[in-house]
Structure 1
Amino acid sequence: MKLSIGLEGSANKVGVGIVTDKGDILANVRRTYVSPPGQGFLPRETAKHHQQHVVPLIAEALKQAKIDPEQLDCVCFTQGPGMGGPLCSVAVAARTVAQLWKKPLIPVNHCVAHIEMGRLVTGASDPVVLYVSGGNTQVISFTQGRYRIFGETIDIAVGNCLDRFARLLNLSNDPSPGYQIEQLAKQGKQLVELPYIVKGMDVSFSGLLSFMEEQLDDWLKRYTKADLCFSLQETVFSMLVEVTERAMAHCGQKDVLVVGGVGCNERLQSMVQTMAQERGGQAFCTDERFCIDNGAMIAWTGLLQYLYGDCKDISETGCTQRYRTDTVPIPWRTEYFSSSEKLSNP
């Protein structure tokens, strides 16, 4: 049995996970940096938070998994994309323990890790992927050995749009601004007409957010905060469902997998499920344990890379804030590779 430990710290969550090559999650612990209401999380403060918590989390994960470092086969960490300071803080910890424990070091693409964790915990085989988070919004499908992006945001991510509107309303960031918007939206009764910006297979949220900011003072005299949160969710999620369905039609696929932090939203899950069922398919969704950034997704994806010989020298493990999903070869998706192209496990 192969074992890996994964360290995640691309945004405001630092997590450590331990998994086996059978997909068993032995540990998945994390801590979240929560900024004051009305404020976002800044790279410097977030990096300090990760530096304070990453070592205790490693110890906690090892204890929870009931293993010693000697039993691990590799150390995995998020190489990007993400915020520079937090990424580097956790990468330093990963490099340090890899050298202390004399283990191979595996840098992992954060976006690919979300997809592979979603496939693992839901059992989804070959779905179109709707990846929605604070930093990324992409519609993805696997073809010709890679995860190809069929549509994406052309400016800010949907999670960033929700978070920034929550700041305008001065909502709490605990446990997350998107969660606060979701709860308020359940109480909304009036749908306010908002800009709906879909450009082919891509979406745009910055103009919508600016429009709401300009109208906010006037709207709050006529509508409740719940109405505005409800309207925002309905609009941006409809945009996402539209481009996802178009990708499914283009790729000839009936199933869809929703991943990323915004994928926890029950309203989004319901809308995607309705669309998939109307197409004769199914929507695969997970809860906050696996949608939100976590160490287990890094450990699992890194272990897949390790089993296919993708080990890096420490000099090749620099972090990058921009690391495209479609630049990563995916050799473990064996439905594409012929037997002669597959690599044998070590």
Structure 2
Amino acid sequence: MLAQLISISSIERPYVALGLEGSANKFGAGIIRHDPDGSTHVLSNVRHTYITPPGEGFQPRDTALHHREWALTVINEALKKAVVSMHDIDCICFTKGPGMGAPLVSVALVARTLSLLYRKPLVGVNHCVGHIEMGRQITGTQNPVVLYVSGGNTQVIAYSQQCYRIFGETLDIAVGNCLDRFARVINLSNDPSPGYNIEQEAKKGKRLLPLPYATKGMDVSLSGILTSIEAYTADKRFRPDGPSAEDGEDIITPQDLCFSLQETVFAMLVEITERAMAHIGSRDALIVGGVGCNERLQEMMGIMSRERGGNVFATDERFCIDNGIMIAQAGLLSFRMGFETPLAKSTCTQR
């Protein structure tokens, strides 16, 4: 499938695809159109997020229930915004994995139901490839080194010999998971997302506190950093509500911790990305995934890329954060090359 996504033949008519994404706490539906002149049009991109109270994560069972409850509303809104009906759709694309098992199953069930009701072919899509293909489409970059950073994935990827190949990755938890878990420790809101709120708090930080710097060749390890940053919250200098009038300068605030965590982890990610760029001779980097929205990460990657005579490419939250349109884009590319997922094989995989 991966090799099929690169070389696309010309088409004689427009092709329209519906993409359904729900590998984590967002259910998204997007509709995309490929025209004979080679242009691509995003007709709609709708999503709804399952948000839990501060200090709590989202459980697979509850997230799957959210997806089932919101599926019809989100899909109908996407069709309405795109001014199309299900009869105009050429294929129904869905996230096959990786992701959380129960939410993935809910989305696959919706996709199979629509496929049977409207007699439309199914296309299972790799979630990671969806992020990359949408990033390439929006930014126009041709052959970048990809830094894929999200709640469940942290990978450095490059295209080689007709496949996307992983050059480096996390050895334990993903960077988004690391940020989310620390946000729960300091009781930050989950609205709109824990990572976004950490980014805003980090902008107010003034002290760079020492944390383990754990790059291991082309890989990174983040669980030890999370343990170390959590230990600061038990320090007698830590002030969860900020400094008081009688405090001296030697105090630690939540903003300092957010700043230190971001700076350390992002420096590690920039390092392994630059190493991959040097290895394959690429000067451009593409950031995809939910954490790719982080402006500080984009800034640090931009500095590194410019020093190498290249550029960094990234998208905004419409396309960085999990969405249905990225599944529609990758799925339609596959469908145009003759790929379909038989109903009997429309299963999911968490890995």
Q: TM-score range by the shorter chain?
A: over 0.9
Matched, 1:83 2:71: no
Matched AA of 2:103: P
Give 3-state SS (helix, strand or coil) of 2:206's partner.
coil
- 1:210-242 CA distances to partner (integer Å, 9 max, x unpaired)? 122233210514211101000000000000000
Is 1:217 the equivalent of 2:230?
no
Instruction: Tell me the SS of whatever aligns to 2:234.
Output: helix
Match of 1:315 in 2: 344
Equivalent residue number for residue 177 of structure 1: 194
Structure 1 counterpart of 2:303: 274
- Give identity over the alignment, percent: 62
Task: Render the CA deviation track for 1:36-75: whole Å, top value 9, x for unaligned.
Answer: 1001011011111110101111111111000111111000
What residue identity is the alignment partner of 2:238? L
Aligned residues: 322
| CA offset digits 1:296-341 (Å, max 9, x no partner) | 000010000100111021111100001xxxxxxxxxxxxxxxxxxx
Asked if 1:8 is matched to 2:21, the reply is yes
Deviation at 1:23, TM superposition (A): 1.8
TM-score by length of 1: 0.92
Instruction: Return the match for 1:298 from 327, 336, 340.
Output: 327
Amino acid at match of 2:31: I
Q: Distance in 2 between matches of 1:57 and 1:188?
A: 38
Task: Indicate the residue corresponding to 1:33 in structure 2.
Answer: 50
Q: Which residue in 1 is equivalent to 2:128?
A: 111
- Tell me what 1:340 maps to: none
The residue identity in structure 2 corresponding to 1:220 is F
Residue type at the aligned position of 2:163: R
Q: Which amino acid aligns with 2:110?
A: A
Code of the residue aligned with 1:146 in structure 2: it is C
Aligned partner of 2:281 among 209, 232, 252: 252
- Structure 1, unaligned stretches of length 5 or more? 323-346
SS of equivalent to 2:302: helix
1:232 aligned residue: 261
Moved over 3 A (4+): none
AA at the equivalent of 1:15: G
User: Over aligned residues, Cα RMSD in angstroms?
Assistant: 0.7
Residues in 1 aligned to 2:43 and 2:144: alpha-carbon distance in whole angstroms? 26
Report matched runs for 1:19-58 at 5 Å.
Answer: 19-21=32-34, 22-58=39-75
Q: In the alignment, what sits opposite 2:248?
A: none
- 1:279-290 matched pairs, under 5 angstroms: 279-290=308-319
- Gaps of at least 5 residues in structure 2 are 1-13, 240-250
Q: Distance in 2 between matches of 1:171 and 1:66?
A: 39
- Counterparts of 1:38-187 in structure 2, within 5 Å, are 38-187=55-204
Deviations 1:191-219 (CA, angstroms, capped at 9, x unpaired): 00100000000000001111222332105
Deviations 1:96-121 (A, max 9, x none): 00111101000000000000000000
Q: Which residue of 1 aligns with 2:243?
A: none
User: CA offset at residue 187 of structure 1?
Assistant: 0.5
Secondary structure of 1:24's partner? strand
**Aligned-partner SS, 2:24:** coil
Cα separation, 2, equivalents of 1:211 and 1:269: 25
Q: Distance in 2 between matches of 1:100 and 1:185?
A: 49
TM-score by length of 2: 0.91
Within the candidate set 6, 17, 21, 2:30 is matched to: 17
Separation (CA, whole Å) in 1 of partners of 2:144 and 2:207: 34
**Deviation (angstroms), 1:135:** 0.2
Look up the SS of the partner of 1:14 in the other structure. Answer: strand
Give 2:269's aligned amino acid: L
